[in-house]
Structure 1
């Protein structure tokens, strides 16, 4: 029955959505004390795998990363913009730096329930209390710490300057309010960022969005040699899905062969070859199916992480995979790959 249900959905929804529906059916049965209908359903797994192979993955609009060099260009252009009033300059200046250095999803900082009262300064650092976020749906709350940097690219100083200039605002009001009295929401923020990128002469400026700051922060951290676990903690990711945010430039392939054939690695492999003789391995069909199932489960978990990452901010116009941008192979950006050798 589930196989027929999955097959009937192919004309209306994407394969990743079918996986979500089946996962919901599984969870509902378990919560009600029934047996998992997907357990041991090998034919269902084959049907889902065939759907994925036949229909593929829908094209996703690219989301290029705003790395630190691009952020600096954005800030410089913003502060020098002749047509922008001083208030809006301070507002955008603080918003861009805070979103980047805090690894924020835009909705977490720009939308409710985060207010001015959630921001405090202690020991030279900016403390942002998030009453609720995607990884905290129960509303226990979490606090994001942002340290100082070199001006004018310091989020702490930029935020302090903006809040001081708007000290008359109520603590319960939105964090960022433009000169016209409107909240700086996600769509308005993205529009301003694209305008600044276009003015700065950045290529493909239309492929950048608000979430490009979060992607760029993860990419910049990786290039700076920050450990994966620290990147995951800074971005409040629940899994290793944060690794999908790190963009690898095509130029990294130029040095990959030399790294693989380095003398130190060659010596290690020669030693292993003497100690561990190789034997032919025969994999059974059951083993192949098990490996495929594990890969499918891992991919589905990553898709679920990326699909709804903007829902905390109420951004209903996001499509699947849009948070992390594009799938593997679309990582065009300015920078170098992390050195894992």
Structure 2
């Protein structure tokens, strides 16, 4: 296998020797190979490569346990794995991801994609009809009242309390994704009289890094003002270049960036400490809460989409707007029950 091929594969993939010599075509150098490998690796984000590696590792273990080859994979083995995962309660999105990863590894290795087989396609169609394809555990949108309850329960005299307060209020007010929130650096913040401008260098819907600007206005209440909370954190964090939100060891504030999983764990823990049910509270609860609360307040859809940067307005309509309208327009309230 060439260096270029290995750059595109999960680290655990045991690759069929498509290119046993590993020799570059005549005229290309090792430097060319390294540059190409780096470009191939950059085609997917680090988080995506991590997810792919986890999915592939689980598929490898299943194949080893059943005594079936992993490369090339047998379409019927893929069918068996998908039906087993569906029976275990995995969502259709997870099954689709499994097929995506299996396809990616096989095509990268120059092998036929087993997920293209008619049997696999029919199994996937049957599972959608049997189990449904709607997401099963959407994040629960948090209301402003719930955010206020969470914030009031935080000890804002400690560095970690100041940091978490700023992260929650900024995440809610900006409607940033968790990956965007932890990727913010001090140089991405631009102070303005009316608030701050956040320069988002790269995002889920902007993998090529064209960039976007998100505005956050001053809050109406001192305790929940996202700009004031961020300024309080920046004051104790210091002006050293680097990520805005950093790890805290005891009472020591480091310059080490947070992983994308920290906002979810932190928010759930803070919500439960404030007396809320942590079920279905994730980092997305801040973004979803922003969209839902704005819709309830009568903010036009185009303004909400401009803030959340949803390219597909149907996502906003179907996930946030229509659920709100369901109780407002239901005819059941007119039945006299």
TM-score range, shorter chain: 0.5 to 0.7
1:180-219 aligned within 5 A: 180-182=252-254, 183-202=257-276, 204-219=277-292
Q: Counterpart of 2:83 in 1: which secondary structure?
A: coil
Q: Is the 8 Å Cα contact of residues 9 and 18 (structure 1) preserved in structure 2?
A: no
Separation of aligned partners in 2, 1:129 and 1:251: 33
Q: Aligned to 2:311, which of 238, 257, 279? A: 238
Q: Is the 8 Å Cα contact of residues 6 and 18 (structure 1) preserved in structure 2?
A: no
After TM superposition, give the deviation of residue 199 of structure 1 in Å: 2.9
Q: Counterpart of 2:214 in 1: which secondary structure?
A: strand
Q: Aligned to 2:185, which of 115, 123, 130? A: 115
Separation of aligned partners in 1, 2:334 and 2:101: 40
Q: Is the 8 Å Cα contact of residues 125 and 146 (structure 1) preserved in structure 2?
A: yes
What RMSD over aligned residues (CA atoms) do the two structures have, in Å? 4.0
Q: Is the 8 Å Cα contact of residues 296 and 324 (structure 2) preserved in structure 1?
A: no
1:170-319 aligned within 5 A: 170-178=240-248, 179-182=251-254, 183-202=257-276, 204-239=277-312, 240-246=314-320, 253=327, 256-257=330-331
Q: Aligned to 1:127, which of 188, 193, 197? A: 197
Equivalent residue number for residue 67 of structure 2 = none
Equivalent residue number for residue 236 of structure 2 = 165
CA distance 1:139–1:12, change in 2 (3 Å):
farther
Q: Aligned to 1:53, which of 122, 129, 133? A: 129
Report the TM-score when normalising by structure 2: 0.59
Separation of aligned partners in 2, 1:253 and 1:165: 45
In structure 2, the gaps of 5 or more residues are 1-74, 87-91, 108-115
In structure 1, the gaps of 5 or more residues are 30-37, 262-341
CA distance 1:126–1:24, change in 2 (3 Å):
farther
CA distance 1:125–1:187, change in 2 (3 Å):
same
CA distance 1:209–1:135, change in 2 (3 Å):
same
Q: Is the 8 Å Cα contact of residues 65 and 212 (structure 1) preserved in structure 2?
A: yes
Equivalent residue number for residue 217 of structure 2 = 147
Deviation per CA, 1:233-264, whole angstroms, max 9, x where unpaired? Answer: 21111212123442777996486228999xxx
Separation of aligned partners in 2, 1:136 and 1:237: 11
Report the TM-score when normalising by structure 1: 0.58
Deviation per CA, 1:153-190, whole angstroms, max 9, x where unpaired? Answer: 11122212222333x34122443443433545444433
Q: Counterpart of 2:197 in 1: which secondary structure?
A: strand
Deviation per CA, 1:105-152, whole angstroms, max 9, x where unpaired? Answer: 112111x3x312111212322111111110110011111111112122
Q: Is the 8 Å Cα contact of residues 116 and 175 (structure 1) preserved in structure 2?
A: no
Separation of aligned partners in 2, 1:228 and 1:23: 35
CA distance 1:104–1:250, change in 2 (3 Å):
closer
Equivalent residue number for residue 101 of structure 1 = 173
